Amino acid sequence: MSEFQRDPNEIGALWAKTGSRGDYFTGTVNGSPIVVFRNDKKPGSKGPDWRILRPTPKPEKTETAW
C-alpha cells in the first residue's frame, strides 16, 4: 500500500456534514479552521452562494453539583 502524498497545490481540505439547519462543510485552509454555510440571505444573483467563517467555540458544559 502506498503512502498518501499531498498535492503541492493543496491549501486545505473540507468535510461535508449535515446538521439541523442543512448541509455545511468543516475543514482547514492554510492551517486555519473554517466552517462553510450556504448563504440563505443571498441579496440577489450577485451575492455569494456559500459563506466561509471561522468557527465559534462551543460553550463548555459545566456540571452542577447538588
State the SS3 of 13-52. Answer: EEEEEEECCEEEEEEEECCEEEEEEECCCCCCCCCCCEEE
**Looking at per-residue confidence, does 35 or 43 come out higher?**
35
On average, the pLDDT of the chain sits at: 88
**28-35: long-range contacts (C-beta < 8 A, 24 or more apart)?**
none
All residues at 6 or more sequence positions from 17 whose CB lies less than 8 Å from its CB, including other chains? 23, 24, 25, 26
Q: How far apart are CA 37 and CA 26, in angstroms?
A: 9
**Looking at per-residue confidence, does 61 or 45 come out higher?**
45
Output the pTM of the full model.
0.72
Band of pLDDT at residue 20, cut at 50, 70 and 90 = very high
Tens digits of residue pLDDT in 36-54: 999 988 888 889 999 999 9
